[in-house]
Amino acid sequence: MTTTHNTASTIVSEMTKAQSPSSVTIPDNLPNSIIDVQNRIHLLGSLLHLAMHSPLHRRYTLNELEEQFVASLIHGQFRYYEVAGSPVGFVNWAWLTDELAEKYSTGEYTIALNEWQGGSQLWFPEFIAPFGHTNAIVRDLRTHVFEKGTPAKALRISPEGDFKGVSQYRL
C-alpha cells in the first residue's frame, strides 16, 4: 500500500499490487489481475466496515453502495484512511459539469460511471468518518489533494436518508 503519514492518521491513497506468490504468474498486460481484484476486495470490505458504523451508510443497499463508491474507485477519485491498520474514513469526489451539478443538487440524481470526470464543479458524494476523524480528513484534502480555496459542494443527507439541501465549502 502507498501511505502518507500525518499526525492524525495514516492515509492510504491507492492500493498497490502486492507481491504475488512465486507459483502464480500474472501477465503484465492484464488490467484486472487477481492481485488487483484482491486489493479491491480488501478496500470494499473496509468500506463496508465504515458503512456499518455510520447511521446513514448502514441503510444503503448493495446497489446504492455500488452507485456511490465503485465509480470513484475506478476513476481513482477517492481517499481511504486507516489508523493502526483499521479503517477510519473514506471520501470520494466527482468533477461535474454545470448541467450534471444542477441535476445532482436535487438529491434525486445518481452520478453515472462516465459522469464523474470532465466538469469544473467539485462535489463530494460520500464522506464517511464514523470514528471522529473528520477534521484530519479535511486537513488532508486541503493540504495534499486540492488547491487551497478550491470551492466544493456536497449533498446534506440526514442519518435517516432524507435530503436536506446542498452544503458549499472552500477547501
Share of the chain above pLDDT 70, in %: 80
Mode of pairing for the β-strands spanning 10-14 and 86-96: unpaired
Q: How many residues does the chain have?
A: 171
State yes or no: is 5 an active-site residue: no
Position 39 scores a pLDDT of: 84
- Sign (positive/negative) of CA torsion 85, 10, 135, 65? negative
pLDDT of 19 > 70? The answer is no
Position 90 scores a pLDDT of: 97
Q: How far is CA 10 from CA 2, 72, 76, 117, in A?
A: 10, 20, 18, 27
Position 23 scores a pLDDT of: 40
Kindly give, in sequence order, each residue whose CB lies less than 8 Å from that of residue 24, ignoring residues fewer than 6 positions away.
34
Position 9 scores a pLDDT of: 37
Q: What is the pTM of this model?
A: 0.79
Q: How do residues 35-60 score in pLDDT, each as one tens digit?
A: 677 888 889 999 999 999 999 999 99
Kindly give, in sequence order, each residue whose CB lies less than 8 Å from that of residue 31, ignoring residues fewer than 6 positions away.
none
Reduce the DSSP state of residue 136 to 3 states and report it.
helix
Q: What distance in Å separates the CA atoms of residue 153 and residue 30, rounded to the nearest whole number?
A: 36
Position 7 scores a pLDDT of: 32
Q: How do residues 93-149 score in pLDDT, each as one tens digit?
A: 999 999 999 999 999 999 999 999 999 999 999 999 999 999 999 999 999 999 999
- The active-site residue out of 5, 49, 53, 57 is 57
Element (H, E) at 121: strand 121-128
Q: What distance in Å separates the CA atoms of residue 48 and residue 55, rounded to the nearest whole number?
A: 13
Position 35 scores a pLDDT of: 60
Element (H, E) at 138: helix 134-140
* Of the candidates 2, 6, 78, the residue with the CA atom closest to the CA atom of residue 44: 78
Position 34 scores a pLDDT of: 60
Q: Is residue 83 very low, low, confident or very high in pLDDT (cuts 50, 70, 90)?
A: very high
In the chain the domains, ranked by start, together with CATH numbers, are 2-15+33-170 (3.40.630)
Reduce the DSSP state of residue 60 to 3 states and report it.
coil
